[in-house]
Each structure stands twice: as C-alpha cells, then as structure tokens.
C-alpha cells in the first residue's frame, strides 16, 4: 500500500497507473480521518477516491468509498448530493452491506431531519455490529442512534441507549462521550437536576480528556443551567464555552454555542445582547465555508439588522443552528428568507 503524503502525489499516482487493491479505500479513510480538523480537505480526498472507482474495483471497496464520499459531502453541507451517493452505495452493497454504509446514511438522514429513516438504518447497523467482524464499533453505533432518538424528541429512550454504552465502555474515551451524551439527553428529557448530579460525579474524568472535552462540558453545563432557569449562570457558561472553542480553532462549535447564547438572550427579551452574540457568529460562518452570499449568511444579516420581530429572530436563529450543524439544506433557509422579505 502506498504511503499517503499529499493529495497531489496521490493524484499523480492514480493518473499514471490503475489503483491497487484497497488503495482507493485507504485514500477515502484518510479523508475521513480529517473530518474534525479540515472538512474541505476531507472532501478532496474522498472525492479523489470516488472519482477513480471503476468496474474493476471490488464491490466491497467501491461501496465503502462511496459511503465515505457521501459522508464528506454531508460534512460540507451538500446534504442532498450526500444522500444520493450513499443510497447508491447501499444499493450496490445489498443484501449484505457493511454497517459503515448504513451509519453514513443514518448521519445523512439525521442531517435532513428525517429521524425515522435515520433510526431505521442505524437499528439495522446495530444488529450487524453485533456480529464478530463488526463488533469493534458497536458502541459508536449505539451512541449515534441515541443522538437520533434525542433529536426526534425521544430523549428518554436515548438515555437508555447511551446507558448501554456506559455499562460496557472499554476505555475512558468512549466513557467520556457516553457521560456527556447522557447528561444532554437527561436535560432534554426534562431532568436537568439528574444530569447535573451525574456531571458533578464525572466532570474530573471528562475534563481529563483535553481542552475540547472541557469546552463541551461547559457547553452542557450551560444548557443545564438554562433548563434550570439559572439565566446568569447559563450566559456565563455559554460565553466560556464559546471562547474555548474559538481558542481551540473549532469554528463550527464556536458558532453553535454563540447561536444558542443568542437564542437564550432572545427568550429572555434581551435583544441587544442577542444581536451582539449574533454579530460574533459572522467570522465562524466564513470559517466553516458558508459564503457571504449564502442563504445562512443572509439570514444572519437579517437577524442582526433589528428589522424583524423577536419571534422571527428566534426562527432565524433555529434555522441557523440547523444550517451550521449540517442539518438543513439551502432550500430551507431560502424558504425562511422568502417569508421575511418585505411585502
């Protein structure tokens, strides 16, 4: 297998000779490894691998490369294209798909807010993950399913799924993720006090995971404080988490925290503070690849212009959260833009 050095070198290799067995999947998996650090590079690597698929490529490799490419499109907010690519991968892989293909499709359905379809494919992936060749990532699949259930308003069920992970987590890394997810699901199911007790007993473990885990914990504590109507504590924690994500060069998370902060200010009738929080979102939209003329960026400018009602501004903020989180298409934002246009 060729060592991965640069995308230019990989392109030249593939131009000069046919890819070797497993080579395209190696490139796609390398792209997948960049998902948390450089989403644009992730897409380039996965797109390169997918562009060199042919009838000579083994079906197992071909379908996994397509699944990685679909996931990269999703992360880069091209969700409709992502679904089309992932559905082709699944069709080609039937009747025995690799569970990763189902998990990638589940993530795409989640981004499209089609929670029933997401749950359906992830439940199938969970069954496959219990078989010996695939058990390694079963806990990740269970957590992914729990997140879908939580977003679908089934937070109590989500707690049960995440608790299964907590009971058998093989290392502290998965344990930290499970604890934070359970805290979130408890909060969303109307049990913020229980969530707070859990985190008080486990926060040292969570913070030992590094800066990003620290900032995620502050973000979760902000959500809990808000659910408990401790307004001042929530504001302080949201601001702390936002500064932390900014310092950690995590623009997507920094944008999401500031959007949630703006929503809290709007809920409490403090429009000037909400506007200040929204202005702080601008540079992060650019950093995650949303251009100034994108529907999301145009919605943000409307929200900071003071020309719409607080209720309409809350709708804008919710749409922006979904857009930044990769959970809506441009068409959704365009529809909201149309409804806010002067009559």
Instruction: Work out the number of other CB atoms within 10 angstroms of the CB of residue 84.
Output: 14
Tens digit of each residue's pLDDT, the chain (343 residues): 455 668 888 888 888 898 999 999 999 999 999 887 788 899 999 999 999 999 999 999 999 999 999 999 998 888 899 999 999 999 999 999 999 999 999 999 998 889 999 999 999 999 999 888 777 788 889 999 999 999 999 999 999 999 988 888 778 888 888 999 999 999 999 999 999 999 999 989 888 888 888 999 999 999 999 999 999 999 999 999 999 999 988 888 999 999 999 999 998 889 889 999 999 998 888 887 777 767 778 888 888 876 678 788 888 888 888 878 765 444 454 554 555 544 3
Q: What is the pTM of this model?
A: 0.82
Paired tokens of 146: 């729990």
- Cα gap 32→199, rounded to integer Å: 31
Paired tokens of 54: 């042919």
- Cα gap 164→160, rounded to integer Å: 6
User: In degrees, to the nearest 5, what angle opens at C-alpha 184 toward C-alphas 180 and 185?
Assistant: 115
What pLDDT digit, counting tens, does each position of 9-66 carry? 888 888 889 899 999 999 999 999 988 778 889 999 999 999 999 999 999 999 999 9
Q: What is the pLDDT of residue 293?
A: 67
- Cα gap 148→122, rounded to integer Å: 9
């Amino acid at each position: 297998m060729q060592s991965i050095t640069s995308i230019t070198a990989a392109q030249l290799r593939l131009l000069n000779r046919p890819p070797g067995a497993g080579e395209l999947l190696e490139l796609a998996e390398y792209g997948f490894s960049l998902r948390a650090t450089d989403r644009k590079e992730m897409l380039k690597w996965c797109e390169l691998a997918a562009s060199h698929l042919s009838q000579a490529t083994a079906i197992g490799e071909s379908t996994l490369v397509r699944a990685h490419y679909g996931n990269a499109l999703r992360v880069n907010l091209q969700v409709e294209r992502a679904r089309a690519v992932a559905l082709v991968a699944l069709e080609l892989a039937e009747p025995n798909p690799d569970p990763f293909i189902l998990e990638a499709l589940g993530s795409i359905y989640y981004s499209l807010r089609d929670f029933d379809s997401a749950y359906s494919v992830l439940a199938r992936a969970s069954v496959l993950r219990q078989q010996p060749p695939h058990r390694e990532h079963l806990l990740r699949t269970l957590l992914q399913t729990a997140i879908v259930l939580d977003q679908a308003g089934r937070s109590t069920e989500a707690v049960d799924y995440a608790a299964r992970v907590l009971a058998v987590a093989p290392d502290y890394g998965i344990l930290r993720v499970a604890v934070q997810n359970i805290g979130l699901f408890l909060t969303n199911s109307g049990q913020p006090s229980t969530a707070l007790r859990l985190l008080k007993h486990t926060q040292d473990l969570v913070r030992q995971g590094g800066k990003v885990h620290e900032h995620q914990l502050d973000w979760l504590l902000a959500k809990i404080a808000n659910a408990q109507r401790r307004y001042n504590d929530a504001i302080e924690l949201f601001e702390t988490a936002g500064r932390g994500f900014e310092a950690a060069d995590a623009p997507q998370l920094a944008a999401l925290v500031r959007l949630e902060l703006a929503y809290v200010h709007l809920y409490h009738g403090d429009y000037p503070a909400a506007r200040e929080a929204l202005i702080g979102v601008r540079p992060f939209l650019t950093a995650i690849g949303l251009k100034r003329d994108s529907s999301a960026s145009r919605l943000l400018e409307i929200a900071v212009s003071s020309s719409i009602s607080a209720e309409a501004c809350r709708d804008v903020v919710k749409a922006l959260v979904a857009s930044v989180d990769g959970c809506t298409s441009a068409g959704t934002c365009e529809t909201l833009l149309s409804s806010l246009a002067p009559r």
